[in-house]
Amino acid sequence: MKGGLFDLDGVIVDTAKYHYLAWKRLANELGFDFTEHDNERLKGVSRMESLRILLEIGGVEAAEDARAMMAARKNAWYVEYISKMDASEILPGAREYLMALRSRGVKIALGSASKNAPMILDNLGITPLFDAIVDGNKVSHAKPDPEVFLVGARELGLNPTVCVVFEDAAAGVEAAHRGGMRAVGIGTHEALPAADIVVPGLSALL
Ligand code: G6P
Ligand code: MG
């Protein structure tokens, strides 16, 4: 491994709970409930695709301009939640593993669908640990398209075959493989059957 490509939500920080709270608030405002089980379908999925799934669950139809407003409302709530985050919310072992890889000369890139990724990294104080940051502002094709990781490898100046992806979402594992990279699944074998290896969290790799 010459390059490590890291997803953010669910790998480095547990922002899924804040995405959930904000989507649930929108669903409740629209008159239906949204469970934590439903929320699993949104992991690793872009903001507009997440909204499409949410509205499908609620049986709500909305035109494109109304959808844009809903997504903006959800994001404003989400940003309110994550603006209060600090380094205590880094997942166990994440910072230590990134530092261990760096000390071995491995280059590190972020590969996240989130447009809020730069703010989250800043709040956690770990921006300097990344040689490249590829987020939802830089790519147009969401996972399982490999774009986010291919751009990450390119920004590190590395061939994808020497890069390893760290992902908690099945769509992200698929994106890694479609880009010619190996994938470490963060979670369970049941949730990530296609991953090359699965660990419960980055601390297991220290
Ligand atoms: C990540 C999360 C998704 C989220 C997406 C977009 O992939 O796992 O739950 O919808 O990023 O995030 P954003 O912060 O741009 O709405
Ligand atoms: Mg994730």
Q: What is the pLDDT of residues 39-93, one digit of tens each?
A: 888 888 899 999 999 999 999 999 999 999 999 999 999 999 999 999 999 999 9
Which strand (E) or helix (H) includes residue 164? Answer: strand 163-167
CA dihedral 58, 61, 64, 69 (to 10 degrees): -50
Q: Which residues of 118-149 are buried (b: 16+ CB within 10 A; e: fewer)?
A: ebbbebbebeebbbbbbbbebbeebbbbbbbb
With a 6 Å cutoff on the Cβ, whether 114 touches ligand 1 is: yes
Ligand nearest to the CA of 135: 1
Environment class of 41 (CB within 10 Å of its CB; exposed 0-12, middle 13-18, buried 19+): middle
SS3 label, residue 186: strand
CB atoms under 10 Å from CB of 56, counted, come to 11
| Closest C-alpha to 44, from 186, 178, 155 | 186
User: Radius of gyration (Cα) for the chain, nearest Å?
Assistant: 17
Instruction: Give the predicted TM-score (pTM) of the model.
Output: 0.93
Alpha helices in 59-146, H assignment, sequence order: 64-82, 94-103, 117-124
Q: Is the CB of 106 under 6 A from ligand 1?
A: no
Alpha carbons 73 and 37: distance in angstroms, whole number: 22
Looking at the CA of 47, name the nearest ligand.
Answer: 1
- Measured CA to CA in angstroms, residue 55 lies from 15, 52, 93 at distances of 21, 5, 36
Section 171-192 average pLDDT: 96
Please choose from 47, 82, 83, 166 the residue to mutate so as to test ligand 1's pocket, defined by most ligand atoms within 8 A of CB. 47
Asked whether residue 179 carries a pLDDT value surpassing 90, the answer given is yes
Averaged pLDDT score across all residues of the chain: 96
Gap between the Cα atoms of 55 and 68, Å rounded: 13
Q: What's the whole-number mean pLDDT along residues 26-36?
A: 97
State in Å: Cα 104 to ligand 1 middle.
30
Contact 136, 117 (CB under 8 A): yes
Say if ligand 1 is within 6 A of residue 67 CB: no
Query: How many whole angstroms separate alpha carbon 14 and alpha carbon 36?
Result: 14
pLDDT value for 43: 85
